[in-house]
Amino acid sequence: MKLRRAAAWLLWWAIPVLAWAQQPAEMKPVTDRLAASIYNGPSVATLGELADGIGGRLTGSPAYVRSTEWAAAKFRSYGIENVKLEPFTIPAGWQRGTATGAMLAPLARPLNLASMGWAPSTPAGGVQGTVVVVADVAPEGLKSRAGELRGKIVLLDTTRIYADGYGKALPKMEAAWLTFQKAGVLAVVFADRDKNNVLNAHSVGWGAKLLPLPAAEIGMEDAKLIQREMERGPVIIQFTIENKTSGETTVNNVVAEIRGSERPEEWILIGAHLDSWDFGTGAQDNGTGAISVLEIGRALMSLGKAPRRSVRLALWGGEEQGLLGSYAYTQTHLDELDKCVAVLNTDNGAGHPKGWKVEGREDLKKAMQPWSDGLLKDLNGGELSTDTTYDTDHGPFLLQGIPALDLSVDMTHYFEIHHKSSDTIDKVDALDFKAGEAIVAVTAYAIAQNETPIAPHIDHAAVGEIVKKAKLEDLLVNVGVWKP
């Protein structure tokens, strides 16, 4: 009797465990074919077409437009029929022109300088003025300094301004621009954070809005020199930037769909941003991610039979200006997000892969574990991390309560190239790149094919808990994508 009861207990527990454990094994013959197709596939050559053939793809620029047409044609060449360019608008278009600058006094020497993204051009002949450091942009203090700021060039001490986090500083910075403008500040300069006067392409605001004043970044050592010279006396600098700007601009996301073979109304989405900054050719930020999405489309089509659920393949614009394309998608497709089973994003470079970030969701981590152990471990993708960020395009989906996964890779060397002129294809390790692609492909297939959804959607309050725990509330509220 005792033995029978024990056996019954064992059976009771073993059945669900076996069901879990068997699913990855059942899918393995197919996912092995998928991974093999990726490893033997043309991703490196395709990345060459994008990074070297089209180059940097600043959102809204002619190069970005070319990249969307190129990507749509690629999807079609793989036999995917449902391919669309889906438009959204950004407040302003911006393209970089030329930038030169120099310290005039006390030393005469050139400055390593570039325009800040979405900065207007300087007046003809440039701006020239004495440098004043502003380390606190609290409105009252800044207004009391208005007289002192007139006709000057402000060097913003961003280390102090962003000390309490970027999100908290955002509204203060927005107000500060207007105070500077009213006070008659000529221009604003920022010190870059990287040594050797290396410059990182970036903008200071959120959402592709034109800055009210000309703004430039200066190499770290140059900025330090300016500050040391200021202890000895006034420092005069001069700079000229010429950019092309336009008003509200339409930008396209590229979205392709492979219809599911059994439950086509349910879908998963694999996404990566196609836009890049313009110093380099956007090879790893995010050429490798974008090519992964294309490659997974090609490899899935090569299987001959689609998984149960539909797979949407999305290439976003406007990521670098604040996840604008993916956010727009969640708003345009709001009424069908309940049918989205999961979102997989890849945008952390092509370092040696680790696995997935499950964005704060312990339940998703638990649900993913059998797949990580059964299918992804052997591909170098078995790790699961609950780290939560709003730094790339899984973010808007996370806020909708959708299970959102972001590919996790070794980022030790990523910031040596990130947003820099060295973000070029020669830094891409083909094997690490393909390993990352294979992990995304296999995970996507497993989630799209599995009998039950990987994890449920969570409600607003539960998302709020994740947002709070990750200390993202200030940022999300201040950029207008979240109401607690």
- Binding residues for Zn ion, rule: CB under 5 A, are 285-286, 347
CB of residue 55 to Zn ion, shortest distance in Å: 16
Angstrom distance (rounded) from CA 396 to CA 402:
9
> Cα-flanking dihedrals φ and ψ of residue 399, to 5°?
-65, -20
Comparison of 296 and 455: residue with beta carbon closer to Zn ion: 296
Comparison of 257 and 423: residue with beta carbon closer to Zn ion: 423
Angstrom distance (rounded) from CA 186 to CA 232:
23
Comparison of 238 and 284: residue with beta carbon closer to Zn ion: 284
Contact predicate 170/479, CB 8 Å: yes
Comparison of 152 and 418: residue with beta carbon closer to Zn ion: 418
CB of residue 266 to Zn ion, shortest distance in Å: 28
CB of residue 274 to Zn ion, shortest distance in Å: 10
Q: Which residue matches tokens 């709003």?
A: 390
CB of residue 392 to Zn ion, shortest distance in Å: 6
Comparison of 361 and 394: residue with beta carbon closer to Zn ion: 394
Strands annotated E in 295-346: 309-316, 340-345
Q: What is the DSSP string of 61-127?
A: SHHHHHHHHHHHHHHHHTT--EEEEEEEEES-EEE---EEEEEEESS-EE--EEEPTTPPPPPTT-E
Comparison of 257 and 406: residue with beta carbon closer to Zn ion: 406
Comparison of 222 and 295: residue with beta carbon closer to Zn ion: 295
CB of residue 361 to Zn ion, shortest distance in Å: 22
CB of residue 290 to Zn ion, shortest distance in Å: 10
Contact predicate 447/454, CB 8 Å: yes
Q: Is omega for the bond preceding 234 within 30 degrees of 0, making it cis?
A: no
Angstrom distance (rounded) from CA 323 to CA 333:
16
CB of residue 319 to Zn ion, shortest distance in Å: 6
CB of residue 418 to Zn ion, shortest distance in Å: 8
> Tokens at residue 401, please?
């309560």
Angstrom distance (rounded) from CA 396 to CA 324:
9
Sequence-distant (6+) residues with CB within 8 A of 220 are 191, 192, 193, 194, 195, 196, 197, 198
Comparison of 238 and 286: residue with beta carbon closer to Zn ion: 286
CB of residue 183 to Zn ion, shortest distance in Å: 35
Sequence-distant (6+) residues with CB within 8 A of 466 are 359, 360, 361, 388, 398
Comparison of 361 and 419: residue with beta carbon closer to Zn ion: 419
CB of residue 272 to Zn ion, shortest distance in Å: 8
Comparison of 257 and 347: residue with beta carbon closer to Zn ion: 347
160, β-bridge pairs = none
88, β-bridge pairs = 251
Q: How far is CA 26 from CA 20, 23, 236, 300, 471, in A?
A: 11, 5, 70, 17, 40
Comparison of 318 and 360: residue with beta carbon closer to Zn ion: 318
CB of residue 423 to Zn ion, shortest distance in Å: 10
Angstrom distance (rounded) from CA 471 to CA 17:
36
Sequence-distant (6+) residues with CB within 8 A of 391 are none
